[in-house]
Each structure stands twice: as C-alpha cells, then as structure tokens.
Structure 1
Amino acid sequence: MKKVVSIFVAMLMAFTLAGCGGGSTSTKSNEGDLSGKISLNGSTSMQKFVTALGESFKEKYPNVNVEAQFTGSSAGIAALQKGTCDIADSSRALSDDEKNSGLIENVVAIDGIAVSINKANKVKSLTKQQLADIYTGKITNWKDVGGADEQIVVIGREAASGTRSAFEELLKIENQCKYAQELDNTGAVVAKCAATTGAIGYVSLDAVDNSINTMELDGVKATVANIKAGKYPLQRPFVMATKGKISKQNKKVQALFDYINSDAGQAIIKKVGLISAK
C-alpha cells in the first residue's frame, strides 16, 4: 500500500509542476498571444516587399493584421511623425531633420534603381553623365546616344517619391530635371515605358518585368549580383522607420522586425529581388 501511495504522490507532484509551468516549460510567448494590427505607410516602391512580408507574417501570427498604405516615402514619414502609423516605409535615407525629430532609420534591404526603356529601343548602355544629361534636358534625341532619330520622352516620379529623391541625388541633378511626365507610382512608370517607344524612366529593380528593357550604366547591368558587389551605381536603402528605437515599440512591431531578420523574412527579401541589409 505504501508503495502505491508513493507512486501516486510522485505522479501528482509531476502533474502539478507541469500545470504551473515548471522548469522545463518555455516562457516564450506563443504566436497566438499577439493580436491587433500593425500600420505601415509610405513608399510605393516597397509595395511588393511589404505586401509579401505582411502575408507571410500573417501565417505565423494569424491574429495580427499588417495594414499598409502606399502614399510615397515623404507622406509615410509625415504620417509617422504625426503618429498615424507604426512604421514609415521609405525608399530613401532619412534626412537629418527627420532623424532629429526622433525617427530611427531601420534599413531592412538594399534596392537597385533600374533605368527602364521600351523594348524596341536599341540603346543598351549609357554613361552616368549621359543619363544625367538626358534628365536635365541637355540630350533630347536618342540619336545623340547611338539610337534612332527619335525624341526622348523623359518619365519620372512625383516630387514626394523616394525613388525620385534617390535617383536625382545619386546623379547629382536635384531640382534640375526636365520631365515630360511625373507619375505617382512605380507601376505607372513601367507601363509608360512599355507603351512609348521613346520613353525612359526609373523604377525599383524588383518592379522590372518582361514588358520593358533596362539600361546598363557605364557598362554595368542592373542585377542583384552587381548591386551587392557595389558595381552598379544606382542603389538605395529600403527603410522601415520607427519613432524611437525598435526595442521601444509595441510587441507586434518588435515581432515584425524579428521576423524580417529571420530566415523566412530574409527569404522574402531575396524573392522580391532585393538584397539583404544584414
């Protein structure tokens, strides 16, 4: 009888310890513990990445909704400063004024800016100087850079675009461009170049598809390998800015950044044609 009682007591103690979260039980929060939403606002160039990230994050954290708006980098930063979003997506580096306002520049990936042209265009390569001269109106006909006798239709993004800011800054042509059209999203630039034989534009590398060709710069193609090697000149950071350090954000936002740095998050960066900032 004593032996039976001893066994019973031992079993009861083991059950009690397990139920109270004894020493062998992990204290790490389960995915189901997080709920609510994470709001993002900003760059249209980051739409493909942010959308894929949100969908994948939702699979791990089914009770968290990643709600993103794509209104342009500067608009997203303004929304973050006003406190109307958790994260600002910016396809340019933050300015000193923005940093001084308390925003933190969290670089999550590196993007290349591809120079897009119509598929019928026979010009395959430009120098950086030729590209700058085209956008500032010094070169206006494709024949002057080895192409057909055709007017160059200079396409760009709207003034608040992070892609435009980065493109003009990298070429040192800020506020000097002579645009035929200024479009409000990356997809529209791709569509315009696909439909207009004389068009030239600039788009995020991950937005390039089979409807357009891309131009070499100084003989270097816009590829992930060349950007990673530092050979291609038009590259920029993809920033997910926060008001204060990541460690000071709510648990949902911290979990999103943890996910970006995980193997799954890094796989998404690669899948959409970006380069890891890690």
Structure 2
Amino acid sequence: MKRTHLMLMALIFWAITPVAPGVQADFRDTFGALDGELTISGGTAHIPVMKALATQVMKASPQVRISIAGGGSGLGIKQVGEGIVAIGNSGRSPKKEEIDRYGLVLHRWAVDGVAIAVHPDNPVRALSFSQLRAVYAGTLSNWKELGGPDRTINLYTRDASSGTRSVFWKKALSKGEIHAKANFVKSNGAMKSALAGDPYGIGYLSVGHLDASVAGLAIEGVSPTLENVKSGTYIIARGLYSNTKGEATGLARAFLDALYSPEGQKIIAAKGFIPVKG
C-alpha cells in the first residue's frame, strides 16, 4: 500500500461518527477473525454511509481500522486502480477504458438523486430545465428574473473529477455550459456549507445531503425527494459505486458484504439513499 500517497490526500476521516438513531449492527461474526487497515477514497456522497458502517465494524472488531477520504469519483477510481486504496468510491459508473485499464470490479449499492439547491431564505422553489441551463450558462444572472430578489445569482459547481458534477452536467444541463464565473467547491458537504451561507447562491448536491440548511428546488414541477428518485419521476439521479481492483478480498470483501447485508442496507436508507443490490 502506498501510504505516502494516501497521506497526501486532502482529508482523511477516521470513522468514529455515530450511526443514525435506531440503526445498530453486530458484525463480530464477520470481522472477529480479521485485523489490519482498510483504506477507502473517492466520491464524497458516499462518506456518510462509509463512516457509519465503519463505526459499527470497528466497534465489533477493535483490531480493524478503516480510513475514509473524499477527493471525488475520478480520484477514487484512479487510486483504487493504482493500488493506493482498497476501495475507490464513485458517483458514476467507471468508464469502459477505466475498467479495462485497472481491471475494476464494480459494486453498485445505492441510487442517489442530485438536487438543485439554494439558501432556505430564497423564495425561488422551482425551475424549468431551460431556466437552469440559462442560469449556469450565465445568460440568466439575476434572481429577479426568476421571481426572487433583485440580486446577482452566485453559481456553485464541482470540479471535473466529481461524479455529482458529471450527472448534473449530463442530466440537468444536457451537457450545456457551466459559466467560468462559477465558484468551485470540493465536496457535497462543502457545497451544502456554501449554499447555507449564501442567500443568493445556487448549486447542486446529493439528495442524501439535503437538510434544513438548504432548500432543494423542484425541476419541471418534480421535487428532489427519495420517493421521486425511487419512482424515476425525478430524473437527475445516478448509482453509487464502490470499486475494487479485481475481485475484493480480505477486509475489502468483508466490508462490501456488510454493506449489502440487511444492517448495511438500513444504514444506506437512514443516510438518505435508496439501497440496491448489485
């Protein structure tokens, strides 16, 4: 394991946060005979589930340590492919050339919607796709044109390695322009913080990250709810993947098995995603 490279990652989370209330699991039978460190990086939408599951695993087996880092889908795919981490998360299916180059095996475990969001004080609660494309192209630049205050719209986006951005760009913008004036943020969490602090901002983030600090917008009359994502009515959605280089073994295999277990599926649902198997 290239630990020097791993330590250069922007942020490492030691999974010590509590699981959602009412979701508890006992993984002693699965992990009791295992030890060592499991390294995970990539998509930031995945982090709440990864941390919650890792907490339960390490509670069951104190000899196991699990480190979880973000960095975006592209980084997760690259780092697992290069053997830097054991699991590389992505909010998009890896491309065929990535699968072929690295020998990746894909593990799809949830469906997630990508919500367009604003500050809760913003009175605008709905947009059409054409309005959204105009906003991000910069041709519609004042909230007044959308029924909001007479203030400039502050755009927020993610970098090119983000799976969230990829889905937003393809399914919400129809591969349209993202204006050069847009502010870049590094993660779903950073996007939520930016919008929660900017009454005139607009951005996008995982539906699983929506809370009272930001307001999700209806698009073409369809709100970004779990029910609408699950039914397919809300079309700005994607799969969440945990990728391995070849078939998963050891701690990585045990962790993925726990993710697909009934307890793991409950954690996925509790964090605002739609659990799937395979």
Question: Structure 2: where are the runs of 5+ without partners?
Answer: 1-28
Structure 1 CA distance for aligned equivalents of residues 151 and 210 of structure 2: 24
Alpha-carbon shift at residue 31 of structure 1 (Å): 3.5
- Give the 5 Å matches for 1:77-156: 77-101=77-101, 102-156=103-157
TM-score by length of 2: 0.84
Alignment match, 1:237:
239
Q: Which residue of 1 aligns with 2:208?
A: 206
Q: CA deviation at 1:147?
A: 2.3
Cα pair 2:129 2:173 within 8 Å, conserved: no
Equivalent pair of 2:207/2:224 in contact (CA under 8 Å) = yes
Shift of 1:259: 0.8
- More divergent stretch after superposition (205-214 vs 164-173): 164-173
Letter in 2 for 1:238: L
Distance in 2 between the 1:68 and 1:195 partners?
Answer: 26
Query: In the alignment, is the contact (CA less than 8 A) between 2:142 and 2:153 conserved in 1?
Result: yes
Q: Residue 172 of structure 1: CA displacement?
A: 4.5
2 CA distance for matches of 1:87 and 1:81? 9
Does the 8 A contact of 1:117 with 1:201 survive in 2?
Answer: yes
Q: How far has the Cα of 1:267 moved from its partner?
A: 0.7
Within the alignment, does 1:259 sit opposite 2:258 as a pair? yes
Identity between Structure 1 and Structure 2 (%):
31
Residue 226 of structure 1 is matched in structure 2 by 228
Aligned to 2:171: 170
CA contact (8 A) 1:220 1:226 kept: yes
User: Which is helix-richer, 1 or 2?
Assistant: 1
Structure 1 residues 136 and 173: alpha-carbon distance in aligned structure 2, compared to 1, 3 A threshold = farther
Q: How much has 1:173 moved relative to structure 2?
A: 4.5
Q: Which amino acid aligns with 1:159?
A: A
Structure 2 counterpart of 1:75? 75
Q: Is the 8 A contact 1:136 1:173 kept in 2?
A: no
In the superposition, the TM-score normalised over structure 1's length comes to 0.84
- What is the aligned partner in structure 1 of residue 52 from structure 2? 52
> Size of the alignment, in residue pairs?
247
Deviation of 1:250 after TM superposition, in Å, equals 1.8
1:189 aligns to what? Answer: 191
Conserved in 2, the CA contact under 8 Å of 1:217 and 1:233?
no
Query: How far apart, in 1, do the equivalents of 2:106 and 2:148 lie?
Result: 41
Decide which moves more: 201-210 or 144-153: 144-153
Code of the residue aligned with 2:211 in structure 1: it is D
Superposed CA deviations along residues 243-264 of structure 1, whole A, max 9, x for unmatched, are: 123xxx2222211111111111
Helix, strand or coil for the counterpart of 1:105? strand
Q: How far apart, CA to CA, are the structure 2 residues paired with 1:106 and 1:132?
A: 32
Which entry has the higher C-alpha Rg, 1 or 2?
Answer: 1
- Opposite residue 230 of structure 1, the aligned amino acid is G
CA contact (8 A) 2:137 2:177 kept: yes
Q: Give the deviation of 1:185 after TM superposition.
A: 1.9
- Computed over aligned residues only, the root mean square deviation of the Cα atoms, in angstroms, reads 1.7
Q: 1:53 to 1:65 in 2, by over 3 A?
A: same
Query: In structure 1, how many angstroms separate the alpha carbons of the residues matched to 2:174 and 2:185?
Result: 18
User: How do residues 25-36 of structure 1 correspond to structure 2 at under 5 angstroms?
Assistant: 31-36=31-36
Secondary structure of the residue aligned to 2:53 is helix
SS of the residue 1:252 aligns to: helix
- 1:220–1:276: structure 2 CA closer, same or farther, 3 Å change rule? same
Secondary structure at the residue paired with 1:265? Answer: helix
CA distance in 2, matches of 1:272, 1:192: 21
